[in-house]
Structure 1
Amino acid sequence: MSTRRAPQTAISVDDYLAGELQAEQRHEYIDGQVYAMTGASDRHGLIVNALAYAMTPAARRKGCQLFSSDMKLRLEISGKTLFYYPDLLLSCDPQDRAPYFRRTPCILIEVLSESTARIDRREKLLAYQTLPSLQAYLLVEQDTQRVELYRRDNDWQVEYFEDGTIPLDCIDMALPVADVYVDVQALDADGG
């Protein structure tokens, strides 16, 4: 989740990475420009936690690493360097183990908010498709039970899931949509 602001003087990748180690707030990096990340709602946090909880056993069985919100994704597109913080990043490549970012995820997930949906559906969708390792990109609605799945083996055509299971082939898993929203439903039942 990020907020765009007016461009400033470009900073180097090394300066960005060093700054992120000291920063109290996370920032995304787009070709020398740095953008502060906004805070997340309770619904956002509950969905991210539910996804991580549901996916972790399958990720471990496959020898993969699952990160929620704090691992950067590094991309190189047309000579430009970008760093994003996906809400969830699943990396199964044993050669992709830099301490502060990954380059070859097989699944990326973003939980949509009103302020990030446009960027997640356009900018990030196009950027993420450039990753040869990426098999699936999920966009998860916060306020309604609906997940959008974009898969390489489906030519990146969107598939919608409001119930049933979502295929996550790179970890041999079918993710129940109900598991994604179980804590949000409990929040709603409590009047949240």
Structure 2
Amino acid sequence: MTALAAMKRFITPQEYLEGELRSDVRHEYVDGQVYAMVGASRAHGRIVNAVAYALTPKARQHRCQLFTSDMKVRLDFAGQEVYYYPDVVLVCDPADAATYYTERPCLIVEVLSESTERIDRREKLLAYQKLPSLEAYLLVAQDARRVEVFRRATGWRHELHTEGAIDLPCLDSALTLDDVYLDVGL
């Protein structure tokens, strides 16, 4: 999601994590600054649910954990600590067991919207590439049948999918575009 408002004073990661436990609004954290998250559209929610529904049996089969919207991804690079809330995150490393965030996801999915697209395409793409465990990053359009994929195995080269299926190496299986867009009629 995107930032609506930023607090001006620096807060520590610990203050951020404690604040999130008490807050009614989710926030992302970028090196001492906190950004409130925007609510999602109906189409956005349906796509997130459809992706989770399609991936859940495969995740269970591989003893992976699948989270939607409320699990943070923690990044730490160049002395900066960052926490993002991806729309869907898949974790297959049993040692990655922090209660409120993950540090070693193998798949991240973001559903694009007008207010989030720029951050998802640039800031988050560059940040997520620094996660050694991440195998694929998917950007899912909610207004057209279009999924963009960036994979570690191809040097993060852009792939565009408008039909068919997307191979997911974490799960040794595929996610079909029919499954992604089943509930939004695209």
TM-score range, shorter chain: over 0.9
Query: What's 2:125 paired with?
Result: 125
With the length of structure 2 as denominator, give the TM-score of the two structures.
Answer: 0.98
Measured after TM superposition, the shift of residue 18 of structure 1 is 0.4
The number of equivalent residue pairs is 186
CA distance in 2, matches of 1:151, 1:125: 11
1:89 and 1:178 map into 2 onto residues whose CA distance is 20
Task: Give the AA of the match of 2:151.
Answer: R
1:2 deviates by: 2.0
Say yes or no: does 1:63 pair with 2:63: yes
Superposed displacement of residue 173, structure 1: 1.2
**Equivalent position amino acid for 2:16 in 1:** Y
> Which structure 1 residue ranges, 4+ long, deviate > 3 Å from structure 2?
4-7
Q: Does 1:105 align with 2:105?
A: yes
RMSD: 1.0
The answer (yes or no) to whether the contact 2:6–2:36 under 8 Å persists in 1 is no
Identity %: 58
> Which secondary structure does the structure 1 equivalent of 2:184 belong to?
helix
SS of residue paired to 2:150: strand
**What is aligned with 1:54?**
54
> In structure 1, what is the equivalent of residue 12 of structure 2?
12
Q: TM-score, normalised by structure 1?
A: 0.95
Paired position in structure 1 for 2:81: 81
Larger displacement relative to structure 2 (3-12 or 108-117):
3-12
Structure 1 unaligned segments of length 5 or more: list them. Answer: none
Structure 2: segments with no counterpart, 5+ residues: none
CA distance in 2, matches of 1:9, 1:56: 40
User: How far apart are residue 7 of structure 1 and its match?
Assistant: 5.3
SS of the aligned residue for 1:182 comes to: coil
Matched, 1:152 2:157: no
- For 2:41, the aligned partner's letter is S
- More off after superposition, 169-178 vs 1-10: 1-10
How far apart are the structure 2 equivalents of 1:66 and 1:139? 17
Instruction: Say yes or no: does 1:21 pair with 2:17.
Output: no
**2:4/2:38 contact within 8 Å kept:** no
